[in-house]
Amino acid sequence: MSLDTLRRALSYPYEIPANSYVVNGKTHQELTPCAPMPDVSGRRPVLAVGSNQSPEQLIRKFNGSNLGPIPVIRARLKDFDIVYSPHVASYGSIPATLRHSPGTRVTLFVNWLTPEQVARMHETEIPTGNYHFGKLDGIELQLDFGPAMTSTYVYSSRRGSLTRDGFPVALAAVRAENRIWPSLSQEEIQNHARDITAPGQPLETFMRAAIEDVSARQDRTRALMSDGLRFNYPGFTPIKI
C-alpha cells in the first residue's frame, strides 16, 4: 500500500472550500458572493455532510462519467451537527453522518444533482450498506444563494453515530456554531478506534489492515457500533432504492 493511499484515508473529509462552487469534469470553480445562483431547475438538493463537500471527492466519484456540472452551494443547517459514523470505509477512513443537535448550526454544502447524477451518487453510497438515502423534513437550511429551505435529501448512516465516553464525536474539519460535543480530526478518531480494537498497534499498521482486509474493516465496524447511537431525528424518511 502506497503512502498516497494512507494519506487519502487520513485526509478525510479532504479540502472543503470556503465558498460555493461548481464541479465540471476534472476541475472546479468557486463562486463569488455576488455571483448569480447557478440554474438548479430539474435538480435534486442532496446535503453533503462528509467528503461530498470536497471538490476532490466529487471529481473522484464523477470522473469520466460525462454527466455535466454539479453546483455545490454552501449552507448553514440549524439544530444539526456532523459527526463520525461507526464504520470504516473501504479506503480506510472513518466517515461522517448527520446528527440532530439542538442549538448547533453547522456549515455544510448542498449538491444539486440531476437524476443521472443522483443515480451515480447512489452507486458510491448505497451498495456498501452503510447509508440510507432519504428525505429530511422540518429543517431550517439557509443557502448562500436563494431562500431558506425546509426540506432536502441526505445520505444518513445506517449505523448511527460513533461515540466516545457516551457522546457523539464531531468532525473537527467541519465548522459549527454552538457545538455541544467534542470534535476530533481523522487521525485522532483513528487513534480512538485503534485504542478500542488494537491497543498498542502502530497507527499506520492499523490503518493498512483496514484498507487491505475486508474482514478487518468488518470487525472494527462491529466494535465501533457496539455503543453507537441511532439517528435521532424523526423528520428523516428513508427512501427505498
Distance in angstroms (rounded) separating the CA atoms of residues 224 and 160:
10
Does residue 41 carry a pLDDT above 60? yes
Walk me through the domains of the chain, giving residue ranges and CATH numbers.
3-238 (3.10.490.10)
pLDDT at residue 35, rounded to an integer: 84
Distance in angstroms (rounded) separating the CA atoms of residues 91 and 29:
27
CB 152 within 8 A of CB 141: yes
pLDDT at residue 128, rounded to an integer: 87
* Banded model confidence at residue 3, pLDDT cuts 50, 70, 90: low
Q: Is 32 left (phi over 0), alpha (psi -120 to 50) or beta?
A: beta
**207-212, long-range: CB within 8 Å, 24+ apart, which pairs?**
207/6, 207/9, 207/10, 207/92, 208/1, 208/6, 210/9, 210/88, 210/92, 211/1, 211/5, 211/6, 211/9, 211/90, 211/91, 211/92, 212/1
Q: What is the mean pLDDT of residues 155-162?
A: 97
* Banded model confidence at residue 1, pLDDT cuts 50, 70, 90: low
Distance in angstroms (rounded) separating the CA atoms of residues 84 and 118:
23
pLDDT at residue 14, rounded to an integer: 97
pLDDT tens for 75-134 read 999 999 999 999 999 999 999 999 999 999 999 999 999 999 999 999 999 998 999 999
Per cent of the chain over pLDDT 70 is 99
pLDDT tens for 185-206 read 999 999 999 999 999 999 999 9
- Length of the chain counted residue by residue: 241
* Banded model confidence at residue 63, pLDDT cuts 50, 70, 90: confident
